[in-house]
Each structure stands twice: as structure tokens, then as C-alpha cells.
Structure 1
Amino acid sequence: MENKKLQREISLTGALSTVMGTVIGAGVFFKAAAVASHTQSAGLALFAWLLAGVLAICGGLTVAELATAIPKTGGAIQYIEATYGKVMAFLLGWAQTIIYYPANIAALSIIFATQLMNLFHLSQQALIPVAIITAISVTGINLLGTRVAARVQSITLIIKLLPIFAIVLYGLLTPGAVNVSLINLEIGGDQSWVAGFSGALLATSFAYDGWLNVGNVAGELKNPERDLPKAIILGLSFVTLIYWAINFVFFKLLPVDQIAGNLNAASEAAGLLFGTIGGKLVTIGILISVYGALNGYTMTGIRVPYALALQTKFRFSSSLTKLTRRTYVPLLPALIQLVIGCGMILVGSFDLLTDMLIFVMWFFSVLIFFAVFILRKKEPTLARPYKVPLYPTTPIIAIVGGLFILIMTAMTQPILVLSGVSLTLLGIPVYYLGQKKA
């Protein structure tokens, strides 16, 4: 291994593939179950999908200004440090390293293995081993180099869009068994509207999660000032459209009570549309979609501890910044991420892992949205190739949406919040201990 620089090898296509490929993964197919459980209403569920998309687009438009002004590897870490200092930047990197990326890898590996078991009618006892093997295989692909990982991302994006387009296009043209009312925003069941809708919005937020990760590879983009905002804005707009459309088809084909809590709802809808064989082919496409998202999180997650080590001179920083000799990939960060992810596979569940990571990351996302206001006053001469449109309305919408998710999650799932916050705050003594040893 040699301590060389990361290579600028990612084009607009690669960046767009990273945004869409990371966002479009398990969430679009499997979070429909959680959203339906919270709302018990097709109209309210579809509204949650649409609103989450609007919030993601506003967030993307906001963060794109920071991404082009600070186009460095590490993405959000760089924005936080420029605004709030090294300690907060370290806490974000710490949370991403020990919670966010490993939890995503674990959750996606679990859902991949679950669907593989169902597709081939395998014993559920093989679930954990298959999930771990899945995580290992994706890490292995990324160790082959950024170019290989980005190529896999582009290929899986094309393949994963096939089952989505098939379900959406054929589903919209096929008469449905259920009459879906788009204007009925009443909640079903016996819970309050606010609690149910906030839970649904939190679930949809996971499905849209991942767009911020392209900033992690900004240092490897050929033209980050031009390509980064395009990738975020175009990618999120398209994702919002297809997310709403595919969920409309789900509710058109299946009643709410058959979708709620049913992780196989997408496969069942595909079976209704295309028959048994066609449904299995779509399920294979869904598996490829999940694998592509897993690759996207693995590729971007590896760069976080690498960027953190470059900025924070710890005792072991030199080990974290060493790149593989031929492929120029941070080896130790890749292995750390894999080990933590495998540990989470052994003890976690899909919804628990995703809900925890979403709360933690929305906290830092809100800080990043505020950073646009702070840096415009703090660094007025900073070169900004792109400025957020409709300022300050766009970032304010992103901030309000983020605060709503944080407040409602704290009220409805306090234990989950405490777990995520506690793990994040553990980074404070780690930071100062590392500084003392340096």
C-alpha cells in the first residue's frame, strides 16, 4: 500500500448513478410496508411519499451550494467543519462511520438475503450467513477500485430501473382492484394523525436517503462544480416521480391492509401484473436494485473515515489514509466498515437499523442546511459556482421539514433517539483522547 491521492475518475454519469443508485434501493420496495402501517390510508401514504421527495429536493438544492463551494472528498464532513469546527465535523464522521453506513450496509444486506431466501424457498437459517456474504462481496468489489465500483453502480442502476419501469408502466395501464383516492388524507386505525404521518414521513425519508453521499466522492469527480449539482437535482427529481408512481401502483393493486407490514408487497404486486414467472423476474430485478444501493453506500462510506483521518491527526490516522497499491482505495476504512456492518447484521433488524440512522443523519442534515446561511455571512467571498435557487425559501423549507421529523421522532420513539444520540456523543471523548495521543 502507498499513501497516494484519490483519482479523479468519476464523470457526471457516474455521479448521477451514485445519487440515483444509492437512493433507489431497498426503500422504494420495502418501506411501503412501514408507510402503510403508519397511515392505514393510501391517500395519506402517497402524500407522505410526495412530501418527502419535495423535502429531499429542497435539501439537495441547498446542499449543492456547499458541495460546489467545497468540492472535497468527505462531503458533509467538510461542510460541517467549515461552519461549526473540527469537533462537530468529527462527530458527523464518527456517526457516519459507526452508525450510518454500517447500519445501511447491514439493513440492505438483511433485506437482500431475505428476498433471496423467499425467491428460492431457502431455509431462513441461512439468512444471516447470506447477508454477511453479501456485505463481504460488495466490499470486495469496491477494493478493486473506484472505476470498477462506479461501473457496477451504473450497470445496476440501469438494471434496477427495469423492474420499476415495468411495474409503473404496466401497472398504470392495468385496471386496479382498489380505488385509490388521492385527496383523502385521513388516517386509518386508532392512532393520531400527527403520530401516524410523522412515522410515515420518517419511513419515506429512508427511501430517499443517500443523495448526500455523492459529496463524499466530490474529490474524485472530474468536474465537481458542474456535475455535482446536476447529479443531485436531476437525480432527486426523477426519483421523486418514480417513487410516487410505483407506490400508486402498489395501492392500486393491493388493499392497504395487505401492504401494511408486508415486505413482500412489491413481489406480490409484480406477480399480479406479470404472473408467477414474470413476478420472479421482477424480484430478481429488485435484488439487483438492493445490491446496487449496497454498493453505493459501501463506496461512499469508505471515504468518510479516510477524509476524517486526513483532517484529524490521530495516532492511527496514517493507517486510515493508506491506499491500496494498485487500486487507490482506503483499505482499513473499508474493513472497519465491513466489520461493524456484519456486527449489526447479527443483532439488528431492517426497520430498527434504518430508523436509528435516519434520525441521526437528519440532525446533521439540518445543521448543514443552516450552514448555507452561516457561510454566506461568514465567508462572503467564497467562490460559489452554484447558488441555491429561491434563497432563502428553499433552505427554510428543508430546515422546517427536518425539524418536524426530528421533533416527532423524539416524541414517538424516544428510546431510538437516545440510542442514536448516545452513540454519536461517544465520539467526543474519542476525539479528545485521540488528540491527546497524537
Structure 2
Amino acid sequence: MSDSGSTGYARRLGVLDATMVVVGGIIGSGIFLNPAVVAQRSESPGMVMLAWSLGGVFALAGAFIYAELGARRPQAGGGYVYLRESYGPLIAFLFGWIMLLVNYSGSIAAVSMTFATYFCQVSGLDPAAIKPVAIGAILLLAGINYFGIRAGALVQNLATALKLLAVVAVVVAGLVFSGVAAQPPPAATVGGAGNFGSALLPVLFAYSGWFYVNNIAGEIRDPQRSIPRALVLGMLTCTACYLLANYAYLHVLGQAGLAASNAPAAELMQRAFGPTGAVLIAGGIAISTFGFCNIAILGGSRMFQVMGADGVFFRAAAHLHPTYRSPDVALAALALWSALLVLSGNYGQLLDYSTIGDWIGSAMVAATLFHYRRSENAAAVFRAPLHPLLPLAFIAAVAFVVISSALAQPQQTLIGLGIIVSGVPAYYLWRRAYRPR
């Protein structure tokens, strides 16, 4: 069955497939490596758990908003489509511009390097092979997705199942095999809003990524029901994983030990199972990051295909393979640009610069819900609860992230805004080049 829109995608994914995309888009390497940053900025174990709990509430709010948007517009393109219909093509293009130039491609480059680092560690390859392995992984995943959404989804389902097993291993090792009596963390003692705000920032970043499923909405069966179910179920699963993993870290390492650890999951697994545990978790991180790269390639290519069809990206990118219904040209373009970023080594800086645009885009996409509620007053199949409080609270949380990031990194913020502004002349050049005949 084909999508009813002009893109011609085939609806071949069910609720389980879509849920795996949500979970895989959120859980990457962060939960295995980065909880130390939250512990460093917190005053007690209870504050650590409170930060991760509030992050889950924030992410669930975003999932509810995107669930209604996906149910209202179940077509490829996600946030780009919502912005185009609500604010016009220029705003939508600027969102797609920073995603194309930096966010999707930079994320793929950075995470593929993380994958390659751990893959080489587990397999015993020389560190000089890290970049070739990263590029090989990008090209392999693009090649798999060339054969259609089912091929990409099979890889994703397997990778997500294995990464969930890795999280379960960390939790079980921390709570059962650590040899330490389980004690619940004491109540939080928040010393000040500034301290807690800095602890919350990395948590909010760790929870982002639920929006990838909206990019492939044109390939999900019964999307008005399947997308909301996948988003809510996936977000609840991720929140449970994050809370249990952090509880396990605190249980074994304590707050001081967690704050001092560069790789808490590896340290925990090594305490529980010795060197074998460290190797196992390195393999788990490799699988988890490989799965994230697959989602970013799968989701990002769909958005760029829609932009090509709109005439604000290379027109060839609008092409769909006649048999596999995959955006073959957009897949190739995204993979090649990401591979070039790996070779350049500048993807880390680009991601830092793009942070401000990424979060501003998230807030604007959430605000499109007001447009749809006003212009389409008929009852939707799914409606986000607590409207308008929910989107207002989400936008306020995003504003907090943007302001905090700007204050902490003013130079990077200015460069990020410059990248956004550079999209304005690019938009008019593309419109001029692809003006309808």
C-alpha cells in the first residue's frame, strides 16, 4: 500500500518497528558513557535521579506533541513538513538546512567514529583503522537502506534489541552481581537552581532523538494510531532504561565514583565480571552506536527527499527507487557528506555550532501544534493531553536549554546562528535554480 501523498512511499512498518526506531534514536552511547557529567554537576545521588526523572518527563511531553503531529500529518519529512505548512517554506528550509549541513550528517560522522573506536577495541584492529571502519559503516548502512524500509528496519530491530540487552546487563550487574548491598539513593538536596540547571542540560540532550520516527511516517501502517503508540511506548522504555542504569551506577560506584569515571558502564561491568565484562560492554556500545547511525541515515534521507521534491534541495534527491521505494539519491548524498565529515575531522565542532539551531527548531516544531489545532478544529485520532500547557511547558524547557547553552558557549552560539542565517541566500538560490517551468 502506498502513501497517499506525492512521495510514493510504501507503508511496510508496524508498531513494533516504529517503537524500535524511537528507542534506537534516543539510546546511543550516552547512557553508557556520559552520566558522569550529571553526577559531577549534582550535589547528591538524589539530585542525579531527579535530573534523569525530569528529563524523562520533558521527553515524554515532546513525544506526546510529536505523536499528535505525526497522526495529523502521517507523511515523510517530519518537522520539515510541519514547519512548511505552519510558517512557510523559508522557515522549513532553514530547519532542513542545518539538519542537512550539520545535524544529521555531523551526528552520523561523530557516532560512526564512536562505533569504529569500540569495534576496533573489541576486534583487536589497529587504531589507524578507526576512520576507514567508520566510513565503511556509513556506506554499508546506506547500502542496506537502499533496499527499502524493511531492510533498514530489520537492522534497526536487531541493533535496538541488542542495545536494550546491553542496558539490562548493566542494570543486572549493578544490582545483582556487584557484591554490594542495594541501598536506595538518599533524597535530593538541591543547593541552587543554577547547579541543578547545569546538571539537567546533559540529561535533556541524552533524551533527544524521538523525532526520527516522524521522518518515516509515510512508511508506517495505520499511522494515526501506530505513531502515537510507538512514541509513548518508546519514550517510557527509554526513561525506564535511563533511570535503572543510573540507579545501578550510583549503587556500585557511588556519586563520587560515578563523577570520577570516564566510562561508568565499562567500570561497572569490569567490577562485576572482570575484563570480560569490559569487553562485553564495549561490544554493546559498538552495536548501540551502529544502530543510531542506521536511524539517522534512514530518517534524514527521507527529509532531504521531501526537500528535493519541494525544489529547495537538489531535484535529483526527490527520486525514489521504483522497486524498493527508497530515497536512493538522498541516501547517497547524506552518506557521502557524512563520510567527508569523518575524513575532515570537523564534525565535533559542527555539532557544537549546531546545538542552538537544533533546539530552536525543536521549539518551533512543537509550536506548530497551535497552528494545527486552530486550522483543523475537527477531532484528531490522537490529541496530546493538557493542551496548551504541554506544548508551552515543552517550549519553555527548550528556551531554558537554548539560553543556558548561549550563556555557556557564546562564541559557538553566534557561529550556530550564522550557519542558520547562511541558509537564507541558499534558499533563494535553490528556488531560483529550480523555479517551476
Q: Structure 2 length normalisation: TM-score?
A: 0.90
Asked if structure 2 preserves the Cα contact closer than 8 Å seen for 1:139 and 1:298, the reply is yes
Q: Counterpart in 2 of 1:228? A: 227
Q: Is 2:177 the partner of 1:156? A: no
Q: Give the aligned partner of residue 66 of structure 1.
A: 69
Q: Which has the higher contact order (CA 8 A, sep 6+)?
A: 1
Q: 1:72 to 1:169 in 2, by over 3 A?
A: same
- Cα distance, 1:50 vs structure 2: 1.6
Does 1:92 pair with 2:88? no
Q: Are the aligned partners of 2:22 and 2:230 in contact in 1 as well (CA < 8 Å)?
A: yes
Distance between the aligned counterparts of 1:207 and 1:175, measured in 2? 29
Q: State the shift of 1:402 in Å.
A: 1.0
Report the CA distance shift for 1:228/1:10 in structure 2 as closer, same or farther (over 3 A).
same
For 2:362 and 2:7, the matched residues in 1 are separated by 31
2:380 to 381, 384, 387: 384
Distance 1:398 1:413, change over 3 A: same
RMSD of Structure 2 on Structure 1 (CA):
2.5
Q: Are the counterparts in 2 of residues 205 and 358 from structure 1 also a CA contact under 8 Å?
A: no
C-alpha distance in 2 between matches for 1:12 and 1:198: 35
User: Within 2, Cα distance between the matches of 1:408 and 1:202?
Assistant: 8
Cα distance, 1:182 vs structure 2: 4.2
Q: Deviations over 1:328-360 (max 9, x none)?
A: 222222122123222332455787565544432
| CA distance, structure 2, for counterparts of residue 107 and residue 229 of structure 1 | 30
Where 1:211 maps in the other structure, the secondary structure is: coil
Give the 3 Å change call, closer, same or farther, for CA 178–414 of structure 1 in structure 2: farther
Contact 1:43 1:180 in 2 (8 A): no
* Residue 113 (1) aligns with residue 116 (2): yes
The letter for the 2-side match of 1:55 is F
Q: Does 1:437 align with 2:433?
A: yes
1 CA distance for matches of 2:44 and 2:142? Answer: 39
Q: Which amino acid aligns with 2:340?
A: G
Q: 1:410 aligns with which of 406, 416, 420?
A: 406
Q: What secondary structure does 1:339 align onto?
A: helix
- SS of 2:211's equivalent? helix
**Rounded Cα–Cα distance in structure 2 between residues aligned with 1:272 and 1:349:** 36
Over 3 Å counting, the alpha-carbon distance change for 1:308 and 1:262 in structure 2 is farther
Correspondence for 2:358:
361
Cα drift, residue 175 of structure 1: 4.6
Paired residue type of 2:323: R
Task: Out of 54-63 and 107-116, give the one that drifted further.
Answer: 107-116
State how 1:24-423 maps to structure 2 within 5 Å. Answer: 24-39=27-42, 41-120=44-123, 122-173=125-176, 174-176=178-180, 181-186=185-190, 194=193, 196-256=195-255, 258-260=257-259, 262-312=261-311, 316-317=314-315, 319-348=316-345, 355-381=352-378, 384-423=380-419
User: What letter matches 2:397 in structure 1?
Assistant: G
The range that moved more, 195-204 or 413-422, is 195-204
Moved more, 327-336 or 79-88: 327-336
8 A contact 1:202–1:358 mirrored in 2: no
Maintained 8 Å contact 1:21/1:296: yes
Query: Which residue identity is paired with 1:304?
Result: M
Unaligned residue ranges in structure 1 (runs of 5+) = 188-192
| Paired amino acid for 2:223 | P
1:190 alignment partner in structure 2: none
Deviations 1:41-78 (A, max 9, x none): 54333322221111110011122111111111101111
Alignment-mate amino acid for residue 44 of structure 1: M
- Number of aligned residue pairs: give it: 428
Distance 1:86 1:261 in 2: 47
Query: Equivalents in 1 of 2:174, 2:280: separation in Å?
Result: 16
Residues 42, 196 of structure 2: 8 Å contact kept: yes
**Identity percentage of aligned residues:** 31
4+ aligned runs moved over 6 Å, structure 1: 177-180
In the aligned structure 2, how far is the partner of 1:238 from the partner of 1:376?
Answer: 29
User: Given that residues 210 and 297 in structure 1 are in contact (C-alpha distance below 8 angstroms), is that contact kept between their aligned partners in structure 2?
Assistant: no
CA 1:4–1:359: 2 relative to 1, 3 Å? closer
CA contact (8 A) 2:353 2:412 kept: yes
Q: 1:437 is matched by which residue type in structure 2?
A: A
- Counterpart contact for 1:306–1:321, Cα < 8 Å: yes
Q: Is the 8 A contact 1:167 1:273 kept in 2?
A: no
Residue type at the aligned position of 1:21: G
Summarize deviations over 1:116-145 as a string: whole Å, max 9, x none: 343345443333222222222222221222
Residue 185 of structure 1, CA deviation: 3.9
Structure 2 residue runs of 5 or longer lacking an equivalent are 1-5
Counterpart amino acid of 2:310?
Answer: Q
Q: State the shift of 1:88 in Å.
A: 0.7
CA distance in structure 1 between the partners assigned to 2:134 and 2:45 by the alignment: 32
Moved more, 50-59 or 176-185: 176-185
Once the two structures are TM-superposed, the CA of residue 278 in structure 1 deviates from its matched residue by: 3.5
| Structure 2 CA distance for aligned equivalents of residues 429 and 329 of structure 1 | 30
Look up the equivalent residue of 2:111 and give its one-letter code: L
Distance 1:330 1:142 in 2: 9
List per-residue Cα deviations over 1:139-174 (Å, max 9, x = no partner).
Answer: 222122211101111111111111211221342234
Map of 2:423 onto structure 1: 427
Instruction: State whether residues 195 and 412 of structure 1, in contact with CA within 8 Å, keep that contact through their aligned partners in structure 2.
Output: no
